[in-house]
Chains A and B, each alone.
Chain A
Amino acid sequence: MVQIHVKLASEKGGYQEWAMIELQGTLETRNPIPFSGRFIGDLHFTHKDVPILIIGHHILYGKVVTLEKPYGILVKDAEVTDRAPGAGQTSYTIRAVIRKKLLFKTRPKPIIANVPKKV
């Protein structure tokens, strides 16, 4: 039977706390390769900490959601070479944990753009 060890990152102060945005629908994210490096949008927060995301011609209002169960980000460890203990075993390290997400569920409001006066 395959046995995969899972552990928390221990170097450099342990695992990190990361964040996440959940977007309804796919927008332009299904084919990420041509999009490497591309700009997505601006994220603002109101004074009541409501997140607002402006992507292209759409403005999305969202909310901060605390995850019922945090997500662990698992990264596969490099294969151990022959003579070391635990050789041949697969293992994963949890590099980060995500406890909250910004959820954008409401239908994006299109921004009616005038001809830009100046860019």
Chain B
Amino acid sequence: MEIVNKRTLDEIDSVLEFAKLGRDEIKSVTQSIYFSEQLDSEGIKLLELDTAVLTALENGERVIIRGDKEDSAVLCTESETFEVKLGEVSNALLIVPDMTLGSELTDTLLPSIQYQQVNSVMHTFYELRKMKPRLQKLRSLLEENPYAGQAAEGDVDHQGTKYTFNELLNLVQGSEREIKIALEKMQAIVIDGYWRVLDFDFLVQVMSHLLQLCDENSWLDQGIPIQECLSVLQDIFPRTVIEHVLKNFADKITPATGKDDDEKHMQIDIDYYRLNEDKVCRFFAEQILKHARKFNLSQFLSTWEKSVPDGMKTSVSQLEGIALIDRDSNPEVISYMTVDTLPEEISERFNHLFRIREKWSLPEITPYIKDLTTDKMDVTAMLTKYARASTLNGIKVYNSRKPIS
């Protein structure tokens, strides 16, 4: 770090004189700045560090930048995803590692010099913008080989690729936690170390066995004793699948006579699950809708009512996010539409929705946009930005801001 031709106090003083800057106006230490002999502006990169990212780094979390040839790069902590963008500055950024700020300078009696070096001059930096992870790919990857039972695994339709969690991390631009949450939402399950989605018809089979068993044992009222249920069904279906179905369609019941004192428990704790009426009825609706896509509404409602288990009641609210009801047509119709087939990008999503239907009321559109909310933008904010509000027959409706192609 040898600096040749080091400036002297005399040289500094003469410049101060020309500049008409008195020694009494400034602190005693002057930092004379030089370009380093090893000036290198290519060897480093500047990355703007969001608080969440710096905290993650300080906590020793895994922080990874992931990029595809087609996609732009993203930075993932263990729980958040950020877009990485290259920013340019018109100003020059001189990196001076050891430069001291005025407040840190100790004033000395006599003037003195510190020699400082600029080791890089930067005109670009990378900035981070928090984003929702791109997860649509996750679903399409898992749908390459849905699980349809052990017997089917060997057949010709089930030779598609299966993915472990690490392989998914490698292919999807999102953080670990966000991917795990998405997998749960998709009701995906781990079978033999691979993440799978259940083939719908297979799921129908499992449910119908389960419901039949419940019916035979009057378990719909009392609750399903899990161990007993597993011991009967595990000959037909893998245990993990049965547990998975129970977890997704039933609620665990806390025993009414639960005692806090575990040591005094002499009986085996029996875990009970009670089937969730809303989830089961919704499942039956999906079964019907998937087959024909579009239905006469009143026919659908009566078919649906008859299909659900005895004692369960259907309700239109259970269809939120899976079906679209058109009350303007004659007769009224209902069609199958799930949010996971819709575009991920927000303006594309709105375009798509407005192409399907010109005007939407708030309760109609909410299920199809609420997955896109962020902490900065809720449903109301989204509608303000991407839609135009008007009133139709006393109800507030939303339509597109621009002509739809």
Contact = CB atoms under 8 A, between A and B. Distances in A.
Interface residues of A, number: 67
A95 B95 CA distance: 13
Contacts of B16: 44, 54
A43 B48 CA distance: 26
Interface in B233-268: none
Given A36-B36, A69-B48, A22 B67 contact: no
Interface string A82-119: 00000000001011111011100000000111101011
* Chain A interface SS verdict (over half): strand
Interface of B: 3-5, 7, 10-12, 14-16, 18-19, 21, 25-27, 29-39, 41, 43-51, 54, 57-58, 62-68, 75, 89-103, 105, 116, 118, 121, 125, 127-128, 170-171, 173
A97 B49 contact: yes
A6 B33 contact: no
B33 A37 contact: no
A33 B38 CA distance: 9
Interface in A23-74: 23-27, 29-30, 32-33, 35-47, 49-52, 54, 59, 64, 69-74
Given A4-B64, A20-B93, A32-B121, A44 B46 contact: no
Of listed B41, B57, B128, residue having the most chain A CB within 10 A: B57
A20 B263 CA distance: 64
B7 A45 contact: no
B27 A47 contact: yes
A74 to B, nearest CB: 4
Contact of A37 (B3, B58, B102, B128): B3
B94 A20 contact: yes
Given A5-B62, A5-B64, A111-B18, A64 B93 contact: no
A49 B91 CA distance: 23
Contacts of B50: 69
B64 A6 contact: yes
A3 B170 contact: yes
B102 A36 contact: no
Interface in A3-17: 3-8, 16
Given A23-B92, A27-B92, A54-B15, A40 B34 contact: yes
Contacts of B43: 75-76
Contacts of A74: 44-47
A98 B4 CA distance: 28
Contacts of B44: 73-75, 95
Nearest to B89: A22
A96 B97 CA distance: 9
B101 A1 contact: no
A8 B100 CA distance: 23
21 contacts: A3-B170, A6-B47, A20-B99, A22-B91, A22-B92, A23-B92, A24-B90, A32-B121, A38-B35, A41-B33, A42-B32, A44-B21, A44-B26, A45-B101, A46-B26, A52-B21, A72-B54, A73-B44, A98-B95, A111-B18, A114-B18
Contacts of A51: 101-102
A43 B31 contact: yes
Given A49-B101, A49-B103, 8 more contacts: A7-B63, A36-B37, A42-B32, A43-B30, A45-B29, A46-B26, A71-B49, A101-B93
Contacts of B7: 39, 42
B35 A19 contact: no
Nearest to B46: A71
Contacts of B18: 111-114, 116
Nearest to A69: B48
